[in-house]
Amino acid sequence: MMRPTDYTIAGGLRALEKREISAVELTEAYVKAIEAHNPRLNAYITVTGEQALAEARASDARRAKGEAGALEGIPLGIKDLFCTAGTRTTAASRILGDFVPPYESTVSGNLKRDGAVFLGKLNLDEFAMGSANTTSAFGPVENPWSRANDPTKRLVPGGSSGGSAAAVAARLAMGATATDTGGSIRQPAAFCGIAGIKPTYGRCSRWGIVAYASSLDQAGPVARNVEDCAILLRSMAGFDPKDSTSANVAVPDFAAACARGVKGLRIGVPAEYTLPGLAPEIEALWQQGFAWLKDAGAEIVPISLPHAKYALPTYYVVAPAEASSNLARYDGVRFGARTAERDSDLRDLYERTRAAGFGAEVRRRIMIGTYVLSAGYYDAYYLKAQKVRALIARDFAEAWAKVDAILTPATPTSAFAMDERQDDPVTMYLNDVFTVTANLAGLPGLSVPAGLDGQGLPLGLQVIGKPFDEETVFAVGGALERAANFTATPQVMA
């Protein structure tokens, strides 16, 4: 017997079309699943169950009238970084704890336009800064997976889109929106055994998404499989005149590309990604990935990305610099929380508001960013990082002459425990070693669940593609998915 939460998005759309299930039935099942498991997982900051049921009834009515959109009746979770009109949007920060946007982000608006139902707002690292979802002002998110030999140890879901990934893995949403600045879609997707794509920079509008680092931020979906990601991305993407960096390019049928196969494709293996100390299980899965693609008719081609090893330090100059500028707007005057004493002057109000409103990791990145942009250090740090970024992007541009896509591990390890790696910021930053290059170069990157480690935890592979060639990325991802046949499910699941 098929339970409502068993449907993928593609399967759910077919079942809705055939009237085997209604949007209300689907939504009720997800609202119940959230009630049952969210108290433990903490994947949602805000649950909008009543509103979701009302949207589902309206959706069923539209379908009955023959007016079904591309995502008609599909219950989704929205990362709490996307502004949703009339629904609190916190960025998981105290400073935005009570912020109710009067407008809708373009991406969430596109999903609504296509008939999606919103279940609520998903937890994340504060302002999307983190790799473990432990910096949220609304508490950490727990990974629904656990270690076979230590089942009570609570693991992180990855970050920053930890709530999105945990909710989809535990079936508290059919799919979810997420954002990725250095790996924030792909790393949590890998840690939670689901798929997630960061599209090309400019593919999805950033309008109405709380900004972290504007030249790196991109929205994308997480879902149970590659095809569902393709379906969601088609709705999310598209040119938006309200974002000056939004790309005016056509949005293809990404889902059609998933079944295309990889016959004749050239897949790059970057020499520099064989890191010393890489877990043998990750190395083995990576080799397995090449074997799968070769069996499916692809050609494996060695390439070199000589500047990739500088990607993380480059990111930790560029991203904090942009963050320090973007987060200057939180001043306790126009919106958000204010902290002041009776006799505070304006400057004291700013300083107290920002000290009380931002968590430790956000303050740390604002400090780094302010420092690298300050007089006397700008050339040595910020300008230097922008030049190294150009070299990282150039390495990829040269690789595209030889290959159609690149295959790498998604993460250097499987999910770690909530009490691990919290002491040293740099150790935490290393989580993004395989993902961050795609942000710096603006390229699409897809994480596909491909296997389990010795503890039964999911591991992912990453496919990086050419600018605006998500179709090839989906084709490679689809082939990996078929070969890997990843059917394992987490211990906590609706």
Partner 1 sequence: MSLDAATVRRVANLARLRLDETEVEKLQTELNGILGWIEQLQTVDTDGVEPMAGGSPVPVALPWRQDAVTDGGQADAVLRNAPDREGEYFGVPKVVE
Please choose, out of 114-122, 124-132, 293-301, 441-449, the segment that lies near partner 1 by the rule CB under 8 A.
441-449
Burial of 18 (0-12, 13-18, 19+ CB in 10 A): exposed
276 belongs to the binding site for partner 1 (CB under 8 A): no
Task: Out of 286, 468, 474, 486, name the contact with partner 1 by CB under 8 A.
Answer: 468
Residues 6+ apart with CB under 8 A from 469: 200, 404, 444
371 belongs to the binding site for partner 1 (CB under 8 A): yes
Q: Does the annotation count 344 as an active-site position?
A: no
336 belongs to the binding site for partner 1 (CB under 8 A): yes
What tokens appear for 343 in the block? 């006799």
Q: Does the annotation count 105 as an active-site position?
A: no
The least distance separating partner 1 from the CB of residue 309, rounded to whole angstroms, comes to 9
324 belongs to the binding site for partner 1 (CB under 8 A): yes
Site track 164-203 with partner 1 (rule: CB under 8 A), x = hit: ------------------------------------xxx-
The least distance separating partner 1 from the CB of residue 345, rounded to whole angstroms, comes to 6
Task: Out of 8, 46, 51, 214, name the contact with partner 1 by CB under 8 A.
Answer: 214
Alpha helices in 89-205 (DSSP H): 106-113, 162-169, 186-192
Residues 6+ apart with CB under 8 A from 242: 106, 205, 207
489 belongs to the binding site for partner 1 (CB under 8 A): no
Three-class SS of 89-111:
CCCCCHHHCCCCCCCCCHHHHHH
The least distance separating partner 1 from the CB of residue 422, rounded to whole angstroms, comes to 13
Asked if 295 and 483 count as a contact pair (C-beta separation under 8 A), the reply is: yes
Closer to partner 1 at the Cβ: 99 or 290?
A: 99
Site track 101-140 with partner 1 (rule: CB under 8 A), x = hit: -x--------------------------------------
Question: Smallest Cα–Cα separation from 81: which of 217, 266, 189, 216?
Answer: 217
317 belongs to the binding site for partner 1 (CB under 8 A): yes
Task: Out of 331, 378, 420, 489, name the contact with partner 1 by CB under 8 A.
Answer: 331
Asked if 377 and 369 count as a contact pair (C-beta separation under 8 A), the reply is: no
* Count of positions on this chain that bind partner 1 (CB under 8 A): 76
Closer to partner 1 at the Cβ: 168 or 362?
A: 362
Asked if 134 and 101 count as a contact pair (C-beta separation under 8 A), the reply is: no
Asked if 221 and 110 count as a contact pair (C-beta separation under 8 A), the reply is: no
Q: Helices 280-295 and 470-484 sit at what angle, rounded to 10 degrees?
A: 100
Residues 6+ apart with CB under 8 A from 280: none
The least distance separating partner 1 from the CB of residue 104, rounded to whole angstroms, comes to 13
Q: Which residues pair with 315 in a beta bridge?
A: none
Closer to partner 1 at the Cβ: 239 or 290?
A: 239
Q: Which residues pair with 178 in a beta bridge?
A: 220
The dihedrals phi and psi of 448, each to the nearest 5 degrees, come to -120, 130
Please choose, out of 42-50, 135-143, 183-191, 423-431, the segment that lies near partner 1 by the rule CB under 8 A.
423-431
50 belongs to the binding site for partner 1 (CB under 8 A): no
279 belongs to the binding site for partner 1 (CB under 8 A): no
Residues 6+ apart with CB under 8 A from 281: 414, 453, 454, 459
The least distance separating partner 1 from the CB of residue 31, rounded to whole angstroms, comes to 28
Count of C-beta atoms within a 10 Å radius of residue 386: 14
Q: CA-CA distance, 467 to 450, in Å (whole number)?
A: 24
Q: Does the annotation count 184 as an active-site position?
A: yes
Count of C-beta atoms within a 10 Å radius of residue 182: 31
398 belongs to the binding site for partner 1 (CB under 8 A): no
For residue 198, the 8-state DSSP code is E
37 belongs to the binding site for partner 1 (CB under 8 A): no
Q: CA-CA distance, 329 to 354, in Å (whole number)?
A: 10
The least distance separating partner 1 from the CB of residue 2, rounded to whole angstroms, comes to 42
State the DSSP H helix or E strand holding residue 405, giving kind and residue range, or none if neither: strand 405-409
220 belongs to the binding site for partner 1 (CB under 8 A): no
Task: Out of 153, 266, 364, 482, name the contact with partner 1 by CB under 8 A.
Answer: 364
The least distance separating partner 1 from the CB of residue 244, rounded to whole angstroms, comes to 5
277 belongs to the binding site for partner 1 (CB under 8 A): no
Closer to partner 1 at the Cβ: 214 or 489?
A: 214
Of 22, 59, 93, 160, which is the active-site residue?
Answer: 160
Closer to partner 1 at the Cβ: 284 or 390?
A: 390
46 belongs to the binding site for partner 1 (CB under 8 A): no
Q: CA-CA distance, 134 to 157, in Å (whole number)?
A: 9
313 belongs to the binding site for partner 1 (CB under 8 A): yes
Residues 6+ apart with CB under 8 A from 142: 40, 41, 42, 154, 155, 156, 157, 166, 418, 492
**CA-based angle 68:233:241, to the nearest 5?**
90
Please choose, out of 136-144, 186-194, 310-318, 409-417, the segment that lies near partner 1 by the rule CB under 8 A.
310-318
Of 59, 79, 112, 146, which is the active-site residue?
Answer: 79
383 belongs to the binding site for partner 1 (CB under 8 A): yes
The least distance separating partner 1 from the CB of residue 182, rounded to whole angstroms, comes to 12
The catalytic site residues sit at: 79, 160, 184
